[in-house]
Structure 1
Amino acid sequence: MPDNLAPALLSAAAMTAIVGVRYLVTSGFFAWLTGRVRPGLYRELRPQIGREVRWSLLSAAIYGIPAGVVAWGWQARGWTQVYTTAGAYPLWWLPASYLVYLFLHDTWFYWTHRWMHRRRIFELAHAVHHASKPPTAWAAMSFHPIEALTGAVVIPALVFFVPIHVAVLGLVLLTMTVMGITNHMGWEMFPRWLVHSRLGHHLITASHHQRHHEFYRCNYGLYFRFWDHLCKTDRGLSAP
């Protein structure tokens, strides 16, 4: 193995481990919380949860490898537009970049998600995710490798083109993790006043995403309901 490849491979392996442990810790926490708030909700789902964990740990490698290589390239070669000095760009860009990343990620997710509901690609790949009936806190990364790959490339690609402070990038990744899990828990953890408010009309929570798992061809977004509203694929809220 060439010496110049070893650090990149080590970074990819380390990031895979980080993504896997992050999944186990965060999904484990929200599964524990589910047991406290909704006792027995997952009682009959142990075989399903086992499948979700296995698919998710495979997805951890698919997410971790490109992220690790890009992280190595950023530190060792100066790749990417990730910066560490807050004053390198106007301060207003800190919150703006957070929203830009979420919107671009949401846009990518919406259109690739709709594509994966075409019959052939659904049967090949996306059916793995929809095998979770109902979804649980362990299902957020339960993807076929093809679907995992479509999700794994978007943030590593964005950092090459859209400047972002490293702390804001961490916040983006935290948001992605928490919303991915809470949208699949099978119950609504956010207060009713928020979910049914004007703000809630534009945000995706479990009440919105649960309807996607019930009716399939609707409610495709990840963070926002913008594209669902615009494309008339929004079918409102379920009652998880």
Structure 2
Amino acid sequence: MKTVDFSEPGTFLLTAAFMFLGIFGRYVAIALLFSVLVQGVYKDKFSPRQVQKRPRRDRQTQVEIGWSFFTSILFALAGAAMVLVWQKGFTKVYLEVNEYPLWWLPVSLIIVLFLHETYYYWLHRWMHRPSIYKYVHKVHHDSITTSAWTSFSFHPLESILQAIFIPGLLFILPLHLYTIGLVLLIMTTTSVINHLNTELYPQDFHTHWFGHWWIGATHHSLHHSQFRTNFGLYFTFWDKWMKTESPQYARLFEEKTENSISSIEKIEMKIH
């Protein structure tokens, strides 16, 4: 059987097209899922207090999806390029699970998330420099009141800066294909959740040993409203270490989840 040559222009573009369908489709599917969840379940039953009181406009969602479309194209091109260099033998990607010890699968996942968090935190702070912000990061912050659709809404320059990190790791860190897929799924899902502007996590989650270090919608919504706090991607540790976490976070989280619990109790009282 003839081996597919990803360096052929037609094959490369077809690979990029399939990757675009996967990336943009994943974004739409997850964003739609959580949008329905928030509107159909949380809005009616829990009604968590929102960080921002400004109503979202239909036009805002359309703009976000438009930017996300271009973001997905750039991510797909980066992915297709990595398939090409993988075929040429330049990456550390491996396909056989037993090629490395099984313990390396979870350990490599943790390492990737830590390194990605570190890269993004400092990149994010750099993008907020006044001389950089308006050219790179402003598009994302045009969505002051965020939603699931905001999660991939980036200027192309920011999309490129985000797209290069994971592929860059593949040159130096052995990663199984499953690990790469899981990282990408975590990245998309957490981005959608963190932009919901509606807190999904339970009361006191922010004081739990895991929740203390994990970012949710309340945490990231404060970044969109305050601009100079809460720069993290998955975790809060860099914000805590660098003292850039909003002092309003704990209080606001408690207010939102307390409001949710109160709403549930009222519903139960009406039922009984």
TM-score normalized with structure 2 length:
0.82
Residue matched to 2:39: 35
SS at match of 1:219: coil
Tell me, in whole angstroms, the C-alpha distance in 2 between the residues paired with 1:80 and 1:44: 43
Establish whether residue 144 from structure 1 lines up as the match of residue 133 from structure 2.
no
Over 3 Å counting, the alpha-carbon distance change for 1:3 and 1:171 in structure 2 is closer
Establish whether residue 113 from structure 1 lines up as the match of residue 124 from structure 2.
yes
Residue matched to 1:83: 94
Residue matched to 1:95: 106
* Shift in Å, 1:159: 1.1
Aligned alpha-carbon RMSD (Å): 2.0
Establish whether residue 62 from structure 1 lines up as the match of residue 66 from structure 2.
no
| Structure in which a larger fraction of residues adopt helix | 2
Tell me, in whole angstroms, the C-alpha distance in 2 between the residues paired with 1:79 and 1:17: 26
Residue matched to 1:134: 145
Tell me, in whole angstroms, the C-alpha distance in 2 between the residues paired with 1:104 and 1:203: 15
SS at match of 1:38: helix
Unaligned segments of structure 2, at least 5 residues: 1-5, 257-272
Residue matched to 1:179: 190
SS at match of 2:148: coil
Residue matched to 2:269: none
Structure 1 letter corresponding to 2:81: V
Which of these residues, 13, 34, 57, is aligned with residue 17 of structure 2?
13
- Give the number of equivalent residue pairs: 238
Tell me, in whole angstroms, the C-alpha distance in 1 between the residues paired with 2:101 and 2:7: 39
Higher-Rg member (1/2): 2
Residue matched to 2:216: 205
* Shift in Å, 1:38: 1.6
Structure 1 letter corresponding to 2:39: G
Structure 2 letter corresponding to 1:49: T
1:173-194 Cα offsets, whole Å, 9 max, x none, are 1110100100000111122232
CA contact (8 A) 1:209 1:219 kept: yes
Higher RCO by CA contacts (8 Å cutoff, separation 6 or greater): 2
Deviates more, 1:130-139 or 1:10-19: 10-19
Structure 2 letter corresponding to 1:59: T
Which of these residues, 26, 32, 35, is aligned with residue 22 of structure 1?
26
Tell me, in whole angstroms, the C-alpha distance in 2 between the residues paired with 1:16 and 1:31: 22
Residue matched to 1:217: 228
**Identity of aligned pairs, percent?**
37
Unaligned segments of structure 1, at least 5 residues: none
Over 3 Å counting, the alpha-carbon distance change for 1:217 and 1:11 in structure 2 is same
SS at match of 1:162: coil
